[in-house]
Amino acid sequence: MIFKVLTLFPEVFQAPLESSMVGLARQRGLVTIEVSDIRSYTHDPHGTADDYQFGGGPGMVLKADPIFEAVDDVLSAHSVEQRAGIPIILTSPQGETLTQAMAQELSLAPEIVIICGHYAGVDERVRQHLVNREISIGDYVLTGGEIPALVLIDSVTRLIPGVVGSHENIEEDSITSGLLQHPLYTRPAEFRGMAAPEVLRSGHHAEILKWRRRESLSRTLERRRDLLDKAELTTDDLTYLRSLGYARPEHTP
Ligand SMILES: C[S@@+](CC[C@H](N)C(=O)[O-])C[C@H]1O[C@@H](n2cnc3c(N)ncnc32)[C@H](O)[C@@H]1O
């Protein structure tokens, strides 16, 4: 998997992409991440990558020409047909909101281009004629697309086989499993008068699984009832949830 990031602030990417799981994934050759400076695709002495808005208004707009040129350059090895199959993503609060399912789908792409907007945003022609996807990381506005690009890279990279130690870890994660995960504990068993649940230390595998499932169900009911309404649930799950006052909506399979 190759990520090609286009940004006016390449330095933002250094530490997050060198550390932890993403850094290790790069060292092990599981992902390649190339960060290009949009400014290096400008042709005036000042390296002008942004300009005033036509029509007036506050904030500068990222110019279309260096961004088109940057994308042409990073995808120069591909034919027009191949290019059509590569996600060329614009980070934008106006885009579709990133979900785990979207990260899963993107993790299957061999190559992804991510364009980071900044200031007031990006010339509309980039959105209309260059990118084939716009992704938001949530309903709030950030100063630039660098953090959204990092969120995207991180969420996709951890789904690439071999990046996270055991695949089971990923499938048990909150959201991925359809529910929120059960609480986690580690040593010491007792700390400042707070004890880890006895059952987790009992060595009784079936009881541990049952406790975890119930904790996961009750936590999801408390915090994310919307997930529960869509989750795959067993008869035992439903019986337990009914005892907590949950009734499945009529239309749910
Ligand atoms: C200040 S924002 C511009 C917002 C723009 N004026 C608008 O109303 O849509 C600057 C850049 O940050 C990025 N950005 C900000 N919030 C984002 C979000 N929630 N998700 C993804 N990208 C975001 C985008 O690349 C955007 O072009």
pLDDT digits (tens, 9 = 90+) for 12-47: 999 999 999 999 999 999 999 999 999 999 999 999
Which portions of the chain are predicted below pLDDT 70?
Answer: 166-168, 251-253
d(C-alpha 103, C-alpha 157), whole Å: 9
The protein residue whose alpha carbon is closest to atom 12 in ligand 1 is 144
**Residue 54 token pair:** 């036509």
DSSP bridge partners of 114? 5, 89
The residue to mutate among 9, 38, 92, 116, having the most atoms of ligand 1 within 8 angstroms of its beta carbon, is 92
93 lines ligand 1 (CB under 6 A): yes
Q: Rounded to whole angstroms, how far apart are CA atoms 29 and 48?
A: 35
**pTM to 2 decimal places:** 0.96
Measured CA to CA, the distance from residue 187 to residue 137 in angstroms comes to 35
CB of 121 sitting under 6 A from ligand 1: yes
Query: 142 in ligand 1 pocket by Cβ < 6 Å?
Result: yes
* Token pair 């599981």 in the structure block, residue: 30
> In angstroms, rounded to a whole number, what is the distance separating the alpha carbons of residues 205 and 194?
23
Q: Is 141 in the pocket of ligand 1 (CB under 6 A)?
A: yes
Distance from Cα 116 to the centre of ligand 1, integer Å: 9
Q: Please indicate whether residue 143, judged by its CB atom, sits closer than 6 Å to ligand 1.
A: yes
- Measured at the alpha carbon of residue 171, what is the angle toward residues 167 and 172, in degrees to the nearest 5? 115
DSSP-derived 3-state class of residue 31:
coil
The predicted structure's pLDDT at residue 250: 82
CATH class of segment(s) 2-157: alpha beta
Q: Does domain 175-243 have CATH number 1.10.1270.20?
A: yes
Domain extents in the chain: 2-157, 175-243
Query: For the stretch 144-166, what's the b/e string if a residue is b when 16 or more beta carbons lie within 10 angstroms of its beta carbon?
Result: bbbebbbbbbebbbbbeeebbee
Residue (of 174, 201, 172) closest to 186 by Cα position: 201
* Residue 86 CA, ligand 1 centroid: distance in Å: 22
CA–CA distances in Å: residue 169 to residues 86, 164, 172, 179: 29, 8, 5, 14
Q: Copy the structure tokens of residue 181.
A: 């995960």
The dihedral formed by the CA atoms of 109, 113, 119 and 125, expressed in degrees to the nearest 10: -100
Q: Which of 50, 88, 89, 141 for mutating ligand 1's site (highest number of atoms within 8 Å of CB)?
A: 141
